[in-house]
Structure 1
Amino acid sequence: MRKLVALALGAVLLTGCSSAPAAAPDTLRITTPYKVKSLDPIKQGLWSPEWGYGELLMRSTDNGDVEPWLLQRLEPVTATQWRLVLRPGVTFSNGRVLDSTALKAVLNRHLAENALVKANLPGATVETPDPSTVLLTTSTPVVNLPNLLADEQLVSVFDAQAEGVYTGPFTVSKLDDNELVLTRNPKYWGGPVTLSEVRVRFVPDGQARLLAVRTGEADIALYPRTDTLGAVKDATSGPRMATAPQALQQLRAIPNLRRAPMNDIAVRRAFALAIDYDQLAKQVLDGLYQTPKGIYPSVVPYALETQRTNASEARRLLDEAGWTPGPGGVRAKDGKQLQLTVLTYPQQPDTQTVAVAMQAQLATVGIGVQITEVQDNYEALKGSAWDVGLSFDGTLGYTYDPIGPLRDFLTSQGSKNFGGITDSELDDLVAELRRTGDPSARTPVLQRIQRLIADRGYLTVVAQRSSAAVVGGAFTGYRPSSVLHHVGAHTQVG
C-alpha cells in the first residue's frame, strides 16, 4: 500500500509539471520535505542561510570549523563582552548597507522576540561605538558565542526596516505552499552569483522526491528515504547518492519524564540497553548510518562511549524495578503494562523504519511499543501524549557546539526540553561549561555530563549519519552540505 501511494504521488508530481518548459542550464531544481512557511526572520529565519537568500554573522564549514561570514572579526573584550566587527561592503538585497546601526536593530529584535536568543544571550545589551563595530555585553559569560552566531535558529540577519529582505546571493521571487523560487541577486555584495535561479519544491513523500530526479524533473532530492537508496547508492551513472563530509545528523530518542513509565529511571536505562545500535546502522538502515557509541560523534575529542547493547542487563534492571513479564511478553507493574508510545514524523521517513525495528528489539526484554506518526514532531513533543519521541537533532547542532544543544534540550530552563528534565546537578554542570572559556578545560566537564546523562537515561542516540541527497541531471557533482547550506553564490552545474 505504501508503494502504491508513493507511485500515485509521483504520478501527480509528474503530471503537474509535464507541461513546464525545460529548465535553463543555470537553474537548479530541488525537492525537499520541509516547507518554508514564510519569510518571517524570527519564526522562519532558519531557512535563509539554508536556501541562500540570507546569511549569518558566523558560518560553520564542512571542515568542522566556525569562521566569520558577515563579520570580519569576532573577538572577546572581557569575560562578558565581545566585539563584533562587520565585513566592509555588505548590503541587503535592497541596497541598504549592513552597518552597526542596522545590526543593532537586528540583535535587539531577536532579543525581544526570539526565545532561543534570549536564553543563550542572558541580559544582553548592544552598543555601537562606530559604524562597523558592535559591542555585545551579557550578564554572564557566553563562551560559545562564535558557534551561536553560526546557528541558523538564532540570529538571522535581515533588514529591520523592510519585510523579507536579507543579504544573500538570491532573493525570493515566489513562495507558496508548493514551491520556493529563488532568483539571482544582481546587487549581491559578495560578487557574481553562478546560478540564475533555484526552484525548491516541497514534496513530503520520499518516493516522489526520488522519482522526480529519476525522471529529470528535479536535479536534487534532499532527505532521501534510506529504503529507496539501494539502486542509487553505488551508481556510476544516472542518479546517484551523495553524502556530506561530517556525520552531524543524529536520530535521538527523547524520553518523556513527565509521565509513567519513562519517569522510571530503570525503564529509561533498560530502553537504552535493549536497542541494538549496530543492527540499526548496518542492517535496518542498510549501512548508510554509523553506529553511535554515545551522545557525541567520535570526531570530537571529548566523546565518551556511554551506549552499549545488553539485553540481559536490561531484563535484570526491569526485574529489580518490579516490572514482571505478563501475557504476550509485555511486562507490567501495579496492573499497568510497560507500553511505550513512540513518535515518528514523515519529513524524516527513517524514523518510521527505525521505530519498527526498535519495536522488535524492545519486545525481547518485555517492553511494548505503539508507533504514532505526527505531522510536526516539535509541536507533538510539546504535548503530553507520548513516551519516546524520535527526532533528528544533533548534539553538536550544525555548528560543532556542545554547549547550546545541552542548554536548550537537557536543562530545566531549556526551550526545547521536551522531556521535562529537572536535574539541578546537570543544570550546574552545563552552567559551569558555559563559563569555561578554555576549550581544554571544558573536556572533563563535558565528560561528567555525558556520564550523568547515560546513568540517568536522559537521552539516547539511536543512529547517526551524514546528510545525504540523490543527485542527477546536470548536477551530479553536487555534494550536500554538512551544515545545511544547500545553495550559495558558487553552487554550479557539474
Structure 2
Amino acid sequence: MAVSPVFADEPLRVGATYLTSGIDPAKGSNGWALTSHGIGENLFTVDKDGKLVPELAEKAERTGDLTWTITLTSGRQFSDGTTVTAAALAKGFENTFANNKAALATGGKLAFEATDDLTLKVTTEKPVPYIPALFAEWPLIAYAPAGDGKAVFTGPYEIADFKTDTSVTLQPNAHFAGADKRSAVDFRKFSDAQTMSLALEAGELDLAFGLPSEVISRLKTNPDLTIKSFPVGYQYLAFLNTTRPLLGDVKVRQALDLAFDRTELAAAINGGEPATGAYAPYFPFAGKQPRPTDLDKAAALLDEAGWKKDANGMREKDGESLRLLAITYPQRPDLVTMLPVVKAQLARIGVALDTQVIENIQQAASEGNFDIALWAQHTAPSGDPAFFLNSMLRSGASLNYAKYASADFDAILDRFATEGDPEKRFTIALDAQAKLFEDVPASFLVSPVWYVGLSKPLQDYQPWGSDYHVLRADIGEAR
C-alpha cells in the first residue's frame, strides 16, 4: 500500500447505516459500496446533475454490432502508484464478469482486449446500444486485481484499515489530484439510524448520511449542525414473491398494490412523494401519475380470488387465513418506519401481516422466505432505465427476488438491446412499467427524500442524488 503524506487535519468522521461487506470488488454489492466510500471509480459515471459523464474513460466508440473501443484518460494512477492501463483494467473487469452475475444484466458476459495502454476493446455477448451507461452500472467498478480477493483502485481515498461490519479507515490516495486538500476518514457503520443521529448530536460525527426523518425537526434546532435534504434516484418498493402459495394469484398481488396508500407512507417518513412507477419523477422515463389506492377494488379482487371475510373482518379461504410475511432491513431506516404502516394498510382489506427486520436482507431475499420485501433501490444508477429491469425483474435474473417470470415482459426488455435512441428507450421503459403494473411482481411505493447531517466544518457539503458518491474528491473543499 502506498504511503500517503501526513495531514495536519483531524480525520473526517463519517457515519452511515451501511458499510462495504468486504474489499473484494467482484463480490455482491461491494463495487457500489467501495465507490460510495470514495475508494473506487467507474469508466463512466453519473454526476451531481444526473448526467452520464466520463470518469476513468475519455470516450467510447462503436466498432461493430457487438464491439466497442474505449479510450482511457491518460495520466491516471492506481493508489499503489502504478499507471492505469487498459490491460490492468481488463483483468479487473474479467474477474468481475466471472464472479458477479449482476454484471451480466445488460450486455451478457463481456470480453476484453487491451490494444494499447489506453485503448480497451470490448466485445459484448448481447447488443448494447450505448456502452457508457453499462460501464456506469454499480457492479463495474474499475480496479486491478492484487490477489486473494484484493485490488487496487483509483478513487480519492485508499483503505488504511478495514474492520468487517464495523468501520473502514481511509487515507488520501496520494496519487489522486488534490490529495493535500483531503484528510483521513474514519467511516463508521451504525446498526440503526437513531444511534447515528445521537452520535451526530454528541459531536462524534462530521457527516451523518441517511438520518431518520423523525429526528430532523429536533436536529435542525442545534446551532452546531446543518441538516440538508435532497431527492434521490432511489425508489422505495415492495417485492412480492410470486412463487409463494398465497401470492401466486395475480389478483391477490393486484389487491395488495391497490391497498397501499402511498401518500400516507410518504407522510410517515416525513419526506418524498407517492411513486409513479419504477423511477424517481425527475427521470424522463418515469410514470406520470401516482400509483392508485382503491380499497373497494382491492376488496373485490380478493373476493374474486376466493378470499372471503370472516367474522373478524379478516380474509380466509378453505379454512386458511390470508396471512403474509413482510421483511425489511435496518440499513434503510425509512423502510423500518414504513413497515407498521404497511401492516395497518393491509389490515384494512382483511390481510394479516407478520413483520421482520433482518440485518442481511440480500441473503433472506435470495432464499425467498418472505411474501413481501420492502426494498430501497436506485433504479437508474447509470441514468438509463434498462439495468434495474434487467437485473431485478427479468426472468431468471440473479437479483430477481420476486421470482417473476414473464415471456411478454422479457420481450419488452429485449427491445433495449437494439434501441439506442433515448426517446425510444424511454418508451420501452414506460411499456415495461405498464406490464409490471398489470402483473405486480413489485409495488412501487415512495420516491423518497433523504437527509444528511453536517458539523460546522462540513456545512458546505452538497449531497448528490444517491449514496453512490458520499465521499468524493471535493470533500476537502467542503471542509
Show CA shifts across 1:20-72 (max 9, x none): xxx96453101111133321121123222111122111111121111110001
Secondary structure (helix, strand or coil) at the match of 2:62 reads strand
Contact 1:27/1:195 (8 A) holds in 2: no
Show CA shifts across 1:75-116 (max 9, x none): 222332221100001111111111121122122222222212
The structural deviation recorded for 1:309 is: 0.9
Q: Cα distance 1:62–1:161, how it changes in 2: closer, same or farther (>3 A)?
A: same
Q: Give 2:167's aligned residue.
A: 179
Q: Give 1:224's aligned residue.
A: 211
Show CA shifts across 1:414-443 (max 9, x none): 111111111000011101122211112223
Where does 1:441-452 land on structure 2 (aligned, <5 Å)? 441-452=424-435
Secondary structure (helix, strand or coil) at the match of 1:84 reads strand
Contact 1:330/1:339 (8 A) holds in 2: no
The structural deviation recorded for 1:409 is: 0.8
Out of 314, 331, 338, the position equivalent to 1:347 is: 331
The structural deviation recorded for 1:275 is: 1.0
The structural deviation recorded for 1:266 is: 0.9
Where does 1:359-438 land on structure 2 (aligned, <5 Å)? 359-396=343-380, 398-438=381-421
Show CA shifts across 1:176-195 (max 9, x none): 1422111112222x344522
The structural deviation recorded for 1:236 is: 7.7
Whole-Å separation in 2 of the counterparts to 1:132 and 1:215 = 49
Whole-Å separation in 2 of the counterparts to 1:187 and 1:61 = 22
| 2:45 maps to 1:62 | no
Q: Give 1:132's aligned residue.
A: 118
Show CA shifts across 1:287-341 (max 9, x none): x122212222221223223611111111111112211001432101122111111
Contact 1:112/1:118 (8 A) holds in 2: no
Q: Structure 1: any 5+ residue segments left out of the alignment?
A: 1-22
Q: Give 1:105's aligned residue.
A: 91
Q: Cα distance 1:476–1:320, how it changes in 2: closer, same or farther (>3 A)?
A: same
**TM-score, normalization by structure 2:** 0.92
Whole-Å separation in 1 of the counterparts to 2:387 and 2:340 = 31
Out of 462, 468, 471, the position equivalent to 1:479 is: 462
Between stretches 125-134 and 382-391, larger displacement belongs to 125-134
The number of aligned residues is 465
Counterpart code for 2:349: V
Where does 1:29-108 land on structure 2 (aligned, <5 Å)? 29-43=13-27, 44-108=30-94
Secondary structure (helix, strand or coil) at the match of 2:475 reads coil
Q: Structure 2: any 5+ residue segments left out of the alignment?
A: 1-6
Where does 1:246-261 land on structure 2 (aligned, <5 Å)? 246-261=231-246
Counterpart code for 1:174: D
Counterpart code for 2:55: W
Out of 82, 93, 101, the position equivalent to 1:115 is: 101
Q: Give 2:299's aligned residue.
A: 315
Secondary structure (helix, strand or coil) at the match of 1:293 reads coil
Counterpart code for 1:456: D
Q: Give 1:209's aligned residue.
A: 196
Whole-Å separation in 1 of the counterparts to 2:449 and 2:8 = 30
The structural deviation recorded for 1:144 is: 4.5
Q: Cα distance 1:118–1:294, how it changes in 2: closer, same or farther (>3 A)?
A: closer
Whole-Å separation in 2 of the counterparts to 1:435 and 1:306 = 30
Show CA shifts across 1:196-244 (max 9, x none): 2111011112222111111111111112122222213x55832232133
The structural deviation recorded for 1:366 is: 1.1
Whole-Å separation in 1 of the counterparts to 2:304 and 2:281 = 33
Contact 2:238/2:373 (8 A) holds in 1: yes
Q: Cα distance 1:25–1:192, how it changes in 2: closer, same or farther (>3 A)?
A: closer
Whole-Å separation in 2 of the counterparts to 1:68 and 1:35 = 26
Contact 1:214/1:472 (8 A) holds in 2: no
**TM-score, normalization by structure 1:** 0.90
Whole-Å separation in 1 of the counterparts to 2:429 and 2:33 = 30
| 2:308 maps to 1:324 | yes
Show CA shifts across 1:424-467 (max 9, x none): 00011101122211112223322221111101112111112244
Whole-Å separation in 1 of the counterparts to 2:113 and 2:45 = 23
Q: Cα distance 1:327–1:147, how it changes in 2: closer, same or farther (>3 A)?
A: farther
| 2:296 maps to 1:296 | no
Q: Cα distance 1:394–1:334, how it changes in 2: closer, same or farther (>3 A)?
A: farther
% of aligned pairs identical? 26
Secondary structure (helix, strand or coil) at the match of 1:45 reads helix
Whole-Å separation in 2 of the counterparts to 1:252 and 1:193 = 42
The structural deviation recorded for 1:276 is: 0.9
Q: Give 2:4's aligned residue.
A: none
Secondary structure (helix, strand or coil) at the match of 1:82 reads strand
Counterpart code for 1:73: K
